[in-house]
Amino acid sequence: MRVKKFILILILYSSGISLNAQTELDSLYAIWQDNAQLDSVRTKAYYNYIWKGFLYSKPDSALILAKNLVKYGADKKYPKAKNFGYNIQGIVYKNKSDYTKAMEFQEKSLALYKKEGDKENIASTLHNMAIIYRRTGNHVKALEYYNQSIMINKSINNQKGIANSLAGIGVIYSKQGNYPKAITYIDEGLKINEQLGDQTGIADFQINIGSVYLEQGDDVKALEYFNESLNFYKEQDNLYRLSEILNNIGLTSQNQGDYDQALSYFNQNKTINERLDNKIGIANDLNAIGLVYDNLGDDKKALDYYNQSFKIQKEFRDKNGMARSKINIGGVYLTQSNYSKSVDNCQKGYQLALSVNDLMAQRDACKCLYDAFKAKRKANEALFYMEKIRLLDDSLNLKETATKLQQMEFKKAILADSLEFSKKQAIGKMKLEKSENTKRAWIIGAVLLLLLAGVIYYGYRQKRKANRFLKERNAFEIENKKKAMTLFSQQVSPEVAKELLSDSYKSGANKVRACIMFLDIRGFTPFSESRNATEINQYQNDVFGFMIDIISAHNGIINQFMGDGFLASFGAPASPGNHSQNAVNASLEILKELEDRCSSGRLIDTKIGIGLHTGEIVTGNVGTAQRRQYSVTGNTVILASRIEQLNKQFKSELLLSKEVINDLNDIENYTFESLGFIQLKGRTEPVEVIKMASS
């Protein structure tokens, strides 16, 4: 399959990078072998040799080499060599999920670094110990060690170390479902790495940001961040990070309903983790594979993979993972109407989630228990867990509100300090100027009289010159605006292009009501596997070409292409009104034109799915000064994507929400049926989904 080839290429590419870096590794090893060098020089060279050449690609070799470094330190009575060796061994065992051994070596390192007073490495070791506590579910201890590391790094101005620990704290809050607080720490750490120009650090934070979007159900934004980090790590010899990214991309494929591609990612990723002996990574892959089979309705395989995952997670004390596996197992039994087993597993998952303060897992467990007790007609128990769900929702909302208020207060305090400083500065300046004004007045008056005549003459000449320049500039701007209008109108309707190019349009963030369309080509993955790049590109142009024209004709705009589909909006950035009507009419026209082209042989047989939802969205330019993109975001966008994915389940072409129907003026002219209220991922309440006939 295409994905298998893609991941194999990544692994080979990573190995190729190692070959390209062989010269540097050979140089480091030569220094290590040179007995004439100082112990400190040899030790540092060998440490970098192990770190760059083996630690994240050949962990077993790194372990052997690290033991050599410890022996060298003992023989030479050079403690720093022993410290470096212990540190590497601790990291290897941490990556292998052997946390007992990992902690043992980190504690040895910490004791030696404290004896030497080496603050930088004390902070680094505390950070590594925090990771171990985090992975074993002891978040309180992990936060304590992360904060200790930050304090020491601040005392020596080690910005890179501070950023690393901020990232770790962000991961903890993300795992607990406290996303606003997670983003606060992630954003702070990202800014430090951007200031340092640390591309590795930036790529790591992109993974973290993508993970938050993934948890919130925004697969499009998640994939954007994962791909950016993937582009960086394709050129690095770090299979651990590649594994993490590919697992996340697999999860986005699963969320988008592409289960074959998701399985390919997860199975290949499992192979990478087995090669690295990364036990927790293997457990995560098994759980992810179980989720795919769960979504496909294969309960037997789903339970098998969930149980395999739980067994590994239990062995290595991964309480977050254990909670998720138990809740997933309970969910399978719920669909089988085996309510006793469902309750048993979800209650165990709930207790595990409580122990690590994972709010989102607690909520998922409570939802499972509510559904099970409701089905068993145990009203009191069902109401008990319904109330817990509401409390957890309130808790998450309160945390988000508190974070936003803290940010507002922080900005307010900075502004107040700035204004106070400016005020004091102005008062001081006024006092100084008052004493000098009298002296200056006579001198300035005389100088002004001399300059006045020259200024009048100069002004006369400049006015003539300016008038001539304005005429030329106006002519130039009119011509450029015509060119821009011509180019922009190729992407959007002339009316929308005119609005975007007008002076009244502002590029800042805005909240508007709009209708969002997600369109997806069915069977694109198997089609593309048997075609070359030119054929795939021509097919995309043939399919998307007429669709773009139709959307533009109905005052819509294509916001983003996604390989086998696209996201379009009606009512943003410019709104001529009737955005839901325009979106529905555009959808029906696309389906009719597609049928005509396929039946006449102008286009190979092609099936598509369209999802529409109307609501409030946030629009604006997103990104940095170097890279900006007009973007539409919000729950409305996510829900439209979820609705489109249901087309596979219901074997339909056009699905829309009740909100779209409510906006239509001539509802009697359409044929549609309600598919009932459906529970969609990321939504507390079920959503009514409508199937509309294409004719």
pLDDT tens profile 319-346: 889 999 999 999 999 999 999 999 999 9
Of 14-18, 24-28, 294-298, 404-408, the one with minimum mean pLDDT is: 404-408
Cα→Cα distances 346→213, 322, 338, 541, 630, Å: 25, 11, 12, 48, 42
Residue 4 has pLDDT above 60, yes or no: no
The whole-angstrom separation of Cα 552 and Cα 555 is: 5
**Amino acid letter for position 691:** K
pLDDT digits (tens, 9 = 90+) for 226-278: 888 888 887 776 787 888 888 889 888 888 888 888 898 898 888 888 888 88
DSSP SS3 for 24: helix
Handedness of CA 374, 379, 384, 386 (dihedral sign): positive
Crossing angle (nearest 10°) for helices 379-488 and 494-501: 90
Residue that is written with structure tokens 């993970």 in the block: 211
- How far out from the chain centre does Cα 136 lie? 24
- Quickly count: other Cβ atoms within 10 Å of residue 2's Cβ: 13
Token pair of 622 as six digits: 């997103």
Measured CA to CA, the distance from residue 639 to residue 515 in angstroms comes to 11
Average pLDDT over residues 398-408: 42
What is residue 328's predicted lDDT score, i.e. its pLDDT? Answer: 96
The CA R_g of the chain, rounded to the nearest whole Å, is: 31
Helix axes of 239-255 and 279-296: crossing angle, nearest 10 degrees: 10
CA distance 617 to 634: 5
Tell me how far apart the alpha carbons of residues 131 and 540 are, in angstroms, rounded to a whole number: 45
pLDDT grade, residue 411 (50/70/90)? very low
Q: Look at residue 3 in the predicted model and tell me its pLDDT.
A: 45
Structure tokens at 122: 């004390």
Question: Is residue 243 a contact partner of residue 231, using CB atoms and an 8 Å limit?
Answer: no
Q: Give residue-wise pLDDT tens across range 76-125.
A: 999 889 888 998 998 888 888 788 888 998 898 899 889 889 999 999 99
Cα dihedral: 379, 382, 385, 387 (round 10): -50
CATH match of 507-692 with 3.30.420.40: no
CA angle 654, 213, 660 (to 5 degrees): 25
Nearest to 291 by CA among 681, 639, 635, 683: 681
How large is the average pLDDT for residues 434-454? 56
What does the domain layout of the chain look like in residue ranges? 507-692
Alpha carbons 217 and 212: distance in angstroms, whole number: 9
Q: How far is CA 472 from each of CA 409, 476, 496, rounded to the nearest angstrom? A: 49, 6, 28
Amino acid at 37: Q
Task: Enumerate residues 6+ apart whose C-beta is below 8 A from 117.
Answer: none
**Comparing C-alpha atoms, which of 520, 555, 556 is closest to residue 540?**
520
Give the C-alpha separation, 587 to 197, whole Å. 45
**8 A C-beta contact, residue 254 and residue 262:** yes
Taking the model in full, what pTM does it have? 0.56
Whose tokens are 């720490």? That residue is 185
CB distance 646 to 688 below 8 Å:
no
CB-side exposure of 141: number of CA atoms within 13 Å? 13
- Cα–Cα distance list, 561 to 256, 522, 544, 592 (Å): 15, 15, 10, 21
**pLDDT, tens only, 289-322:** 999 999 899 999 999 999 999 999 998 888 889 9
Nearest to 283 by CA among 255, 324, 245: 324
The kind and range of the H/E element at 672 are: strand 672-678
